[in-house]
């Protein structure tokens, strides 16, 4: 693959000049320049000539920080109001070295004005006290899931997906999960019980744990995280034997990422035409698989953070031509206030062959490219494998309504660059739907003849042998383009024997023995432990006691009980979890409090803070105990305050309570010391023999304190004695449970998003 030489830690000017034989200077990231990039996009014409300077200048400038107030929380509005009433005024008159900087501004096109942009540069944020305070607020609220740092343009695809609470959704390339979070929010709007599901998938195992981490801030009983190649996403079976089809699919595919040049500076030096060319096939295979998995009438959003038509319109055009019954949806009236450019219907294709000194070579069409390949002007391996015909505009390109695609150019609204479009599947099932899809050739064999024959026909033949360049780095072990790589149906389930023997079929199904996650099984609804916690928390009939799941083969409630909804249960019970490569499912609803071995503790389970939203709505109202803001102060100031430290009302209340986990509500209000709790707060608390403690971790406590008192009033807890927690040290147990989550993920502890991922 023709590429610019890449320095290990970022190429220096000298390095790159030395490596440059044909006059293609690759600059250091600091230069924010790449002449190949300029030539390529100036030739594409999608940035009008008279806007080139503005486009380029914007790309070379720093990207503003943007974030969203998460929408599924009842208190999203309260948090938004807090920003408006406290932080906007406090940052309104910031001046540094004679320059005035604006306060955070609401992004005009984001629904409910729940998204914000900070234009002040990082240097100013670091130096100015009001911005520093705002930054601390942002970090804390992001940790607890009230805010999500995300690039503005990256917020668009989930908004166009139009998710409702009953939808069955698939996020095919989901990590690190900023769009996944938006889909979860849309599935769980304020105060409604969602019956929908989201499968968030990524082919990179480590990155699926970023997803688990990210979605842990927005717990949902309708969530499954999987680790599969999206282009071969398996057919999921339902209990009636039918395949599961999705109402909504997001294909936010891997891409060359030149739309992120403002924050991923290393792309300046690495950029080359070959990257987009090599990604085209994978992107197309992912999109085609998504189309097969969509239900008739369903909606599919395809997006990239690349400007390149080869990764954008070319993929969409080839997909539309290959699958009848799909059309591009006109979303021009959606998201008013968002400045967007129409998708293009003509584009050019270039390569940068090494033999030509990496000079850009333009090909008008597939045939001229093949001639060059045969004449030895391109790479030797291109004789067998090279660019597919689908990277060029098809002859019927004008019939495809590609202008309905959206391209976001940075200088329009001071954002990153992005491409997005919405595909709608016709209501009536078409010939190539899921039922027969598994038996046909893999989706992206290069597409022959008809597209380029001028007929304008949407029917396509498959070529006999693949002529598709596949990015080596992205390719899995099995070549997905080979005829053997049909998409496997997942038919064995957790109900079957561990050997994967399917009694219905009388044949053995292969399991993925290399997949090292623990199994999933449901605890019997009449299990004694379930009965104990139903009695203890006074859970009503509305609580689905049959939907508590554990991570062991036998359904034993040993350490953690996860709650799922019915559709997730159906998927888990009818499909082999190793074939689906399920990394996590549901929400952590109950955790065993093992240090509490006293006989007086009737129920040894507690609700972790992530389970509160799913458990509390099913409790009898009187089981949620009210406490005052002054009690909250005591609980934050001390880790295990003795009962005598609390208000007389609270002392009377707890004296009547047995030992164990109780759920408390602190009413919104104010204190004479200036504290203000803007919304009711429901939290798990442990009633020990002589003390009380909040069952939330230190970071959550600090954030709560910052929000309510404007400062961190939490004091550090006492050190452990020989590692053994005392009865009062329950809060330490809370943190230990978090490390147990790391055990669950089997050694994958590197879950921090990289710079490139942030807000992608």
Ligand X SMILES: C[S@@+](CC[C@H](N)C(=O)[O-])C[C@H]1O[C@@H](n2cnc3c(N)ncnc32)[C@H](O)[C@@H]1O
Binding site for ligand X (CB under 6 A): 154, 172-179, 201-204, 207, 229-231, 252, 254, 474, 760
- Based on CB atoms, which residue is closest to ligand X, 252 or 728? 252
Asked if residues 243 and 237 have their Cβ atoms less than 8 Å apart, the reply is yes
Question: In this structure, which long-range contacts are made by residues 738-746, counting pairs with CB atoms below 8 Å and at least 24 apart in sequence?
Answer: 738/697, 740/559, 740/560, 741/216, 744/518, 744/551, 744/584, 745/209, 745/212, 745/583, 746/516, 746/517
Residues designated as active site = 305
CA-based nearest residue to 317, from 250, 240, 253, 391:
391
- Based on CB atoms, which residue is closest to ligand X, 173 or 533? 173
- Based on CB atoms, which residue is closest to ligand X, 595 or 760? 760
Minimum distance between the CB of residue 171 and ligand X, rounded to whole angstroms?
A: 7
31 is in an annotated binding site: no
Q: Which residues contact 149 (CB under 8 A, 6 or more apart)?
A: 65, 66, 67, 138, 142, 758, 759
350 is in an annotated binding site: no
Minimum distance between the CB of residue 643 and ligand X, rounded to whole angstroms?
A: 46
174 is in an annotated binding site: yes
- Based on CB atoms, which residue is closest to ligand X, 79 or 251? 251
**Other CB atoms within 10 A of residue 441 CB:** 14
Name the residue number minimizing CB distance to ligand X. Answer: 173
- Based on CB atoms, which residue is closest to ligand X, 472 or 526? 472
Residue 125 has, within 13 A of its CA and on its CB side, a CA count of 15
Minimum distance between the CB of residue 184 and ligand X, rounded to whole angstroms?
A: 12
Q: Distance between alpha carbon 170 and the CA centroid of its chain, in Å?
A: 11
- Based on CB atoms, which residue is closest to ligand X, 161 or 616? 161
Q: Six-digit token pair at 372?
A: 């060059």
- Based on CB atoms, which residue is closest to ligand X, 252 or 631? 252
> Can you tell me the distance from the alpha carbon of 298 to that of 407, in angstroms, rounded to the nearest whole number?
23
- Greatest CA separation for the chain: 91
178 is in an annotated binding site: yes
Question: In this structure, which long-range contacts are made by residues 540-544, counting pairs with CB atoms below 8 Å and at least 24 apart in sequence?
Answer: 540/618, 540/619, 540/620, 542/617, 542/618, 543/615, 543/618
- In 366-462, at which residue ranges do the beta strands (DSSP E only) sit? 406-408, 418-425, 447-448, 461-462
Asked if residues 174 and 212 have their Cβ atoms less than 8 Å apart, the reply is no
- Residue 577, CA distances (Å) to 64, 236, 501 in order: 42, 11, 14
Q: Which sign, positive or negative, has the C-alpha torsion 90, 70, 758, 418? A: negative
Would you call 491 helix, strand, or coil by DSSP?
A: coil
658 burial (CB, 10 Å; 0-12 / 13-18 / 19+) is exposed
Minimum distance between the CB of residue 174 and ligand X, rounded to whole angstroms?
A: 5
- Based on CB atoms, which residue is closest to ligand X, 254 or 410? 254
176 is in an annotated binding site: yes
- Residue 71, CA distances (Å) to 104, 159, 462, 565 in order: 19, 12, 45, 21
Q: Six-digit token pair at 258?
A: 């030149």
200 is in an annotated binding site: no
398 is in an annotated binding site: no
Strand pairing partners for 425? 326
Would you call 463 helix, strand, or coil by DSSP?
A: coil
Would you call 252 helix, strand, or coil by DSSP?
A: strand
Query: φ, ψ for residue 535 (rounded to 5)?
Result: -65, -45
User: Helix 313-322 vs helix 273-293: angle between axes, to the nearest 10 degrees?
Assistant: 40
Please name the helix (run of DSSP H) or strand (run of DSSP E) that holds residue 52, with its range, or none.
Answer: helix 52-60
- Based on CB atoms, which residue is closest to ligand X, 157 or 684? 157
Residue carrying structure tokens 């009388």: 506
CA-based nearest residue to 149, from 116, 122, 186, 171:
116
Minimum distance between the CB of residue 480 and ligand X, rounded to whole angstroms?
A: 8
- Based on CB atoms, which residue is closest to ligand X, 275 or 614? 275
The DSSP code for 623 is G
On the question of a cis peptide bond just before residue 176, with omega within 30 degrees of 0, the verdict is yes
Q: Six-digit token pair at 149?
A: 């740092």
Please name the helix (run of DSSP H) or strand (run of DSSP E) that holds residue 136, with its range, or none.
Answer: helix 129-143
Q: Which residues contact 550 (CB under 8 A, 6 or more apart)?
A: 520, 521, 522, 523, 556, 557, 558, 559, 560, 561, 562
Which residues make up each annotated binding site? 173-179, 202, 229, 252
Which residues make up each annotated binding site for S-adenosyl-L-methionine? 173-179, 202, 229, 252
């Amino acid at each position: 693959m023709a590429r610019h030489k890449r320095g290990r830690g970022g190429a220096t000017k000298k390095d790159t000049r030395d490596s440059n034989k044909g006059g293609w200077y690759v600059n250091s990231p600091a230069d924010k320049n790449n002449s190949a990039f300029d030539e390529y996009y100036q030739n594409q014409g999608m940035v009008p000539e008279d806007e080139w300077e503005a486009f380029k200048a914007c790309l070379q400038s720093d990207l503003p920080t943007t974030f969203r107030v998460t929408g599924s929380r009842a208190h999203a509005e309260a948090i938004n109001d807090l920003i408006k009433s406290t932080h906007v005024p406090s940052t309104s008159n910031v001046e540094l070295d004679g320059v005035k900087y604006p306060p955070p501004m609401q992004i005009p096109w984001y629904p409910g004005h729940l998204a914000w942009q900070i234009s002040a540069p990082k240097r100013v944020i670091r130096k100015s006290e009001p911005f520093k305070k705002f930054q601390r607020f942002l970090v804390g609220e992001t940790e607890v899931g009230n805010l999500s740092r995300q690039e503005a343009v990256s917020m668009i695809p989930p908004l166009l997906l139009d998710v409702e609470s009953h939808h069955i959704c698939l996020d095919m390339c989901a990590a690190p999960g900023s769009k996944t979070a938006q889909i979860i929010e849309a599935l769980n709007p304020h105060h409604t019980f969602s019956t929908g599901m989201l499968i968030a998938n990524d082919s990179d195992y480590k990155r699926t744990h970023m997803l688990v981490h990210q979605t842990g801030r927005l717990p949902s009983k309708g969530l499954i995280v999987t680790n599969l190649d999206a282009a071969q996403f398996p057919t999921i079976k339902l209990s009636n034997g039918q395949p599961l089809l999705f109402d909504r699919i997001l294909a936010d595919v891997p891409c060359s990422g030149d739309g992120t040049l403002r924050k991923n500076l290393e792309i300046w030096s690495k950029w080359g035409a070959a990257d987009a060319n090599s990604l085209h096939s994978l992107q197309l295979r992912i999109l085609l698989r998504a189309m097969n998995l969509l239900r008739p009438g369903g909606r599919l959003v395809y997006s990239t953070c690349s400007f390149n038509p080869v990764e954008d319109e070319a993929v969409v055009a080839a997909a539309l031509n290959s699958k009848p019954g799909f059309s591009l949806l006109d979303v021009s009236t959606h998201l008013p206030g968002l400045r967007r450019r129409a998708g293009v219907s003509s584009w050019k294709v270039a390569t940068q062959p090494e033999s030509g000194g990496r000079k850009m070579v333009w090909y008008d069409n597939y045939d001229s490219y093949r001639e060059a390949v045969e004449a030895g002007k391109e790479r030797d391996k291109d004789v067998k494998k090279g660019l597919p015909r689908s990277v060029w505009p098809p002859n019927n390109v004008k019939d495809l309504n590609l202008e309905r695609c959206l391209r976001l150019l940075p200088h329009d609204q001071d954002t990153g660059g992005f491409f997005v479009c919405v595909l709608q599947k016709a209501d009536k099932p078409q010939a190539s739907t899921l039922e027969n899809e598994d038996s046909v050739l893999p989706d992206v064999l290069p597409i022959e003849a008809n597209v380029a024959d001028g007929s304008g026909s949407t029917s396509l033949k498959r070529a006999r042998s693949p002529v598709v360049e596949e990015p080596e780095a992205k390719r899995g072990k099995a070549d997905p383009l080979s005829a053997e790589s049909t998409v496997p149906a997942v038919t064995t389930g957790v109900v079957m024997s561990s050997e994967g023997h399917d009694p219905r079929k009388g044949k053995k199904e292969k399991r993925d023995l290399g997949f090292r996650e623990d199994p999933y099984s449901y605890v019997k609804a009449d299990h004694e432990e379930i009965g104990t916690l139903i009695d203890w928390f006074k859970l009503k009939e509305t609580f689905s006691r049959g939907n508590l799941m554990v991570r062991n083969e036998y359904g034993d409630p040993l350490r953690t009980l996860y709650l799922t909804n019915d559709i997730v249960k159906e998927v888990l019970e009818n499909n082999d979890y190793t074939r689906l490569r399920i990394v996590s499912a549901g929400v952590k609803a109950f955790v065993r409090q093992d240090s509490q071995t006293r006989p007086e503790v009737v129920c040894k389970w507690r609700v972790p803070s992530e389970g509160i939203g799913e458990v509390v709505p099913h409790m009898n109202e009187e089981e949620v105990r009210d406490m005052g803001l002054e009690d909250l102060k005591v609980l934050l100031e001390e880790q295990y305050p003795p009962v005598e430290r609390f208000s007389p009302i609270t002392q009377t209340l707890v004296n009547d309570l047995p030992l164990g986990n109780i759920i408390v509500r602190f009413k919104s209000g104010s204190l004479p010391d200036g504290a203000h709790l803007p919304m009711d707060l429901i939290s798990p608390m442990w009633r020990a023999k002589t003390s009380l403690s909040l069952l939330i971790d230190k970071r959550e406590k600090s954030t709560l304190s910052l929000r309510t008192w404007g400062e961190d009033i939490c004091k550090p807890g006492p050190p452990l004695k020989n590692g053994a927690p005392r009865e009062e040290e329950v809060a330490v147990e809370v943190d230990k449970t978090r490390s147990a989550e790391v055990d669950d993920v089997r050694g994958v502890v590197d879950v921090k998003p990289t710079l490139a991922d942030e807000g992608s």
